[in-house]
Structure 1
Amino acid sequence: MDRRVFGVETEFAALHRPASGRGLPPDELARYLFRPVVDFGRSSNIFIPNGARLYLDVGSHPEYATSECADLMDLIAADRAGEVIMHDLAVWTEKRIAEDGFDGQVYLLKNNVDSAGNSYGSHENYLIPRTTHFRRLSGILLPFLITRQIIAGAGRVVPADEKQPAHFAFSQRADHMWEGISSATTRSRPIINTRDEPHADAASHRRLHVIVGDSNMSSTTSLLRYGSTDLVLRMIEAGVPIGDFELENPIGAIRHISHDLTGTAAVRIRGGEESTAVEIQQGLLDRAKRFVAEHGAHHEHVERILQLWERTLEAVRTGDHSLIDTEIDWAIKKRLIEEIADQRGIGLDHPRMEQIDMAYHDVHPERGLFYLLRRRGRAQEILTEDQVTEAMITPPQTRAAIRGEFLSTARAFGAEYTVDWVHHKLTDRPLEALMLKDPFATTDERVESLLEKLGDRNQLRERSLQQRQADSVSLALTDRFEADESTQDLVQFP
């Protein structure tokens, strides 16, 4: 497959922290958060002008699903746009609850586990050919995903328990996976979910739904996470020999690997041999490099992905994490945690460590520790602010462009409509509902003809653009709170 569309669904943790006493319960806080969403679309489950979906998921978790993207940088920008939109909903909520007599702050965290041990997801979606043999796919992809945490994990301070002291681990999600492959998502949490909803022509495509990944704050980590996975999928689809890394006990392996920062924890391959996470990843990387050398790079970021992949494995292998501690989330966070522990003479079991771990994922651009590190040159960035702003307004050049144009035009003319990943309908014309199965299409004459019933084509485009810009302002809620000094003093840099 020369072309692929990607998407990522991110669940956010929402928390109200008052000056004293208990905060608002999650369901009540969620109702506040989504008032602007309901005002916009008369539902808590809507599509917005950039083609993305915004909704409340199980457990009152706000969730943002990017539109389908055909370019990795578009995907990363779309994901970051979701952070900004969610942050601004939190800012709006904080003001509204203050008006209603509730003091304190509202936090939205882009992470995967809370202090009570609950886990929530970051789900990747890859469009793959229907002809891909699923047994071969799972046999190669599972060991890759199980070991991928050493190159793309978010990192986590693991509290002490009766079995082990407090320590740092590669992944937030690893301890919460229960099956290798399953059709469930919440009950058993498999690494690969087999629910086959391609939102495309099912005769040609299927949807690969990966739910094992950690949410990333770092754009460079995101590039490696999605880019390395895409390369492995391309090798599988091309039928090239990759090697046998299939694991005997996938769930035991994913947890064992997460808690060993040396990358040398041995896991058993089917057939009795043992291997390590670094060895499995290195084998896949070597094959990917040969594949690119033989077939050519399919996009401009391939060389950077391969170089970062190689350097990350070297950092794990040698223990020299300075090789990647401005680019890979777990290493960026680990450096911060260790510096604060040294400065204050505290261990990982100190309650402050968990607070810092959580604050790293705060999406408030002035308060979140990741953003503070980025401002101080401690975290690299591959996106510009203009790219993120554009991703909040403009859909990528996929079917999302049609979706965004359709809903913005309908709103501009006050027409009732329904839209989802595939369907487009003006409510007063139910017999003219359209289904768009091609995720790569950027225009569709049928949709344009339907919209022309609202006005002429030039008028439609002008008013649609005006509506999209107006909607982006109303959803992004342009006012900002100042940084919270009590949170900023968590960090003192040497």
Structure 2
Amino acid sequence: MERRVVGVETEFGLAHQGRGRRGLPPDEAARYLFRPVVDWGRSSNVFIPNGSRLYLDVGSHPEYATAECDDLLDLIASDRAGELIMHDLALRAQEAMAADGLPGSVYLLKNNIDSQGNSYGSHENYLIPRTTHFRRLSTVLLPFLVTRQIIAGAGRIVPPTEDQEAHFAFSQRADHMWEGISSATTRSRPIINTRDEPHADAAVHRRLHVIVGDSSMSETTQLLRFGSTDLVLRMIESGAPLGDHELENPISAIRHISHDVTGRARVRTREGRQVTAVEIQQNLFDRARSFVARHGAHHDRVGEVLELWGRAVEAVASGDHSLIDREIDWAIKRRLIDEVAGRAGLGLGDARLDQIDFAYHDIHPDRGLFHLLVRRGRAVRLLDEARLRRAITDPPATTRAAVRGRFLSAARAHGAGHTVDWVHHKLVDRPLEAVMVKDPFAAEDPRVDTLLGRLRGELRELDDAEREAQPGPLALSERYVATSPVPPPEPPLI
């Protein structure tokens, strides 16, 4: 089967807590956070040597978009590298604030909703063939995405209202979706965004932009989130029969499903049938398993994806969440919250449990509760430390990101003005020689190598004094390598 390029864009929640005084508002904190980025790239929207993009989005949300990846572990590693890069920026921001007489702590949360109820996203991008029939795609994919929260949601405590008590829900993002399919993103958030920007040859490729996903702390949740979606897309593209689960009202359904962690909530199909999220996921899982049995696995993690998918559906159907409470975010979090609530005699509406909910998503490796659970063996990791560290500075070796990374590193090492985006590579002083790399799978491009070769040749002709004036290669700190302080003793969970 053909390879597929996938990427994920993650927006982070940002807060500053002052010491002895009120913290800075998010826009001011964001300016401190991105000061090293602007110093490095003369912009708050830059591509960095690992092939990824780092920028400030609407609402002062720091955002990190992974490089193009055609391997699930590369994708997870690139996304996790973004957490470490953001953490490094947070440490620098704290130091700069303290130097300006504003001591305190910067918090970056990899979640999807703040204490005021504002939502921010984790958007997935899947490269699909231009020949894929969009009506068939949406008919099958929408029910899958509406119900995917039961196997890959981040979980949240829903605060009490006049109509309902505080309760636990599968998803942070579900209540903030307003349309099934739309070209909008922030004005009226759809589950699937139709904006057609493939960042590739538009005659061959289309970009599927999925907005509905919850940000994942767990690497195994990410494996299932991206891996199951890829399998459903492959079945759609192959024309395999997938049954009819088209929903009468996807937005009503996604919210109804999210708020019933028994998995028994029934939603209505266009045909008038009443179905549950478990039934839809079980049907698609069974078809995916049969599809792989017929056509073979297209990558070496397919078996793990299927095993975890089946176990996650069983956990919801049976109510035995211990089947997945070390691997799927919502179940890991719910176990933690239930234990803390039971030990302290707290109800779900207690503000101390809200703090647990938010602290789960704190990306600080020594302070965040998810990372504490990993150290205690309560959450599973897939990546070893060496692979994660490489992802901070090195782009994936099998996609166009490798070309972008080499171009960026070489241009900066030689002090050459340059601009890049997902497709274009340009040296400022020779704009007519700009190179477009439209093939996302092109890990090599002779035109870029030739352009950089000319640059190196010209620099060799400089005299020693001129060469001394050229900036040297980037120090590791300038490539956003996260610091690794000695961790303090592990704090109690409450």
Aligned-partner Cα distance in 2 for 1:109–1:135 = 36
Aligned-partner Cα distance in 2 for 1:477–1:143 = 40
Tell me if 1:64 matches 2:68: no
* Aligned ranges 1:13-28 → 2 under 5 Å: 13-28=13-28
Q: 1:484 to 1:24 in 2, by over 3 A?
A: farther
Residue of structure 2 in register with 1:253 after alignment:
253
Residue of structure 1 in register with 2:77 after alignment:
77
Give the Å deviation of 1:456.
5.3
Residue of structure 1 in register with 2:280 after alignment:
280
Residue of structure 2 in register with 1:463 after alignment:
none
Q: Deviations over 1:137-186 (max 9, x none)?
A: 00000000000000000000111011111010000000000000000000
* Unaligned stretches of 5+ residues in structure 2: 461-470
Residue of structure 2 in register with 1:351 after alignment:
351
Q: Is the 8 A contact 1:367 1:484 kept in 2?
A: no
Tell me if 1:409 matches 2:410: yes
Give the Å deviation of 1:482.
6.4
Aligned-partner Cα distance in 1 for 2:347–2:473 = 49
Residue of structure 2 in register with 1:235 after alignment:
235
Q: Is the 8 A contact 2:16 2:106 kept in 1?
A: yes
Q: Is the 8 A contact 2:94 2:106 kept in 1?
A: yes
Give the Å deviation of 1:104.
1.4
Aligned-partner Cα distance in 1 for 2:473–2:144 = 41
* Aligned ranges 1:48-63 → 2 under 5 Å: 48-63=48-63
Corresponding residue SS for 1:454: helix
Aligned-partner Cα distance in 2 for 1:276–1:405 = 49
Q: Is the 8 A contact 1:78 1:391 kept in 2?
A: yes
Corresponding residue SS for 1:325: coil
Q: Is the 8 A contact 1:108 1:362 kept in 2?
A: yes
1:157 maps to a residue whose letter is I
Give the Å deviation of 1:484.
7.5
Q: Deviations over 1:12-39 (max 9, x none)?
A: 0110011334210111100000011011
Tell me if 1:11 matches 2:11: yes
Aligned-partner Cα distance in 2 for 1:20–1:377 = 36
Aligned-partner Cα distance in 2 for 1:165–1:468 = 60
Provide the alpha-carbon RMSD of the alignment. 1.8
Q: Is the 8 A contact 2:412 2:473 kept in 1?
A: no
Aligned-partner Cα distance in 2 for 1:348–1:213 = 24
Aligned-partner Cα distance in 1 for 2:410–2:479 = 17
Residue of structure 2 in register with 1:267 after alignment:
267
Q: Is the 8 A contact 2:160 2:349 kept in 1?
A: yes
Residue of structure 2 in register with 1:187 after alignment:
187
1:404 maps to a residue whose letter is G
Aligned-partner Cα distance in 1 for 2:233–2:405 = 29
Residue of structure 1 in register with 2:436 after alignment:
435
Give the Å deviation of 1:131.
0.2
Q: Is the 8 A contact 1:408 1:468 kept in 2?
A: no
Aligned-partner Cα distance in 2 for 1:483–1:448 = 43
Q: How much identity, in percent, do the aligned residues show?
A: 69
Q: Deviations over 1:387-427 (max 9, x none)?
A: 11111111102000000000110011110000000000000
Q: 1:254 to 1:281 in 2, by over 3 A?
A: same
Q: Is the 8 A contact 1:423 1:433 kept in 2?
A: yes
Aligned-partner Cα distance in 1 for 2:148–2:175 = 14
Aligned-partner Cα distance in 1 for 2:259–2:223 = 24
Residue of structure 2 in register with 1:209 after alignment:
209
Corresponding residue SS for 1:165: coil
Aligned-partner Cα distance in 2 for 1:481–1:118 = 32
Give the Å deviation of 1:472.
4.2
Q: Deviations over 1:255-293 (max 9, x none)?
A: 000000111100001111110000000000000011000
Q: Is the 8 A contact 2:155 2:169 kept in 1?
A: yes
Calculate the TM-score normalised by the size of structure 2. Answer: 0.95
- Stretch of structure 1 that moved more, 476-485 or 148-157: 476-485
Corresponding residue SS for 1:366: coil
Aligned-partner Cα distance in 2 for 1:320–1:468 = 57
Residue of structure 2 in register with 1:491 after alignment:
493
Aligned-partner Cα distance in 1 for 2:349–2:479 = 40
1:155 maps to a residue whose letter is G
* Unaligned stretches of 5+ residues in structure 1: 460-466
Residue of structure 1 in register with 2:328 after alignment:
328
Q: 1:490 to 1:477 in 2, by over 3 A?
A: same
Q: 1:367 to 1:483 in 2, by over 3 A?
A: farther
Q: Deviations over 1:286-306 (max 9, x none)?
A: 000110000000001001110
1:394 maps to a residue whose letter is D
- Runs (4 or more) in structure 1 with deviation over 6 Å come to none
Aligned-partner Cα distance in 2 for 1:126–1:42 = 30
Aligned-partner Cα distance in 2 for 1:164–1:472 = 52
Residue of structure 1 in register with 2:449 after alignment:
448
Aligned-partner Cα distance in 2 for 1:31–1:69 = 30
Residue of structure 1 in register with 2:465 after alignment:
none
Aligned-partner Cα distance in 2 for 1:351–1:417 = 49
Residue of structure 2 in register with 1:462 after alignment:
none
Aligned-partner Cα distance in 2 for 1:194–1:22 = 42
Q: 1:472 to 1:161 in 2, by over 3 A?
A: farther
Aligned-partner Cα distance in 2 for 1:66–1:27 = 24
Q: Deviations over 1:29-70 (max 9, x none)?
A: 000000110111110000000000000000000000000001
Q: 1:354 to 1:26 in 2, by over 3 A?
A: same
Residue of structure 2 in register with 1:474 after alignment:
478
2:477 maps to a residue whose letter is V
Residue of structure 1 in register with 2:312 after alignment:
312
* Aligned ranges 1:122-133 → 2 under 5 Å: 122-133=122-133
Corresponding residue SS for 2:20: coil
Aligned residue pairs total 484
Q: Deviations over 1:85-130 (max 9, x none)?
A: 0001001111110111112111000000001000000000000000
Q: Is the 8 A contact 1:10 1:63 kept in 2?
A: yes
Q: Is the 8 A contact 2:413 2:473 kept in 1?
A: no
Give the Å deviation of 1:479.
3.9
Q: Is the 8 A contact 1:49 1:394 kept in 2?
A: yes
Aligned-partner Cα distance in 1 for 2:83–2:15 = 15
Q: Is the 8 A contact 2:110 2:363 kept in 1?
A: yes
Q: 1:175 to 1:181 in 2, by over 3 A?
A: same
2:40 maps to a residue whose letter is F
2:13 maps to a residue whose letter is A
Residue of structure 1 in register with 2:39 after alignment:
39
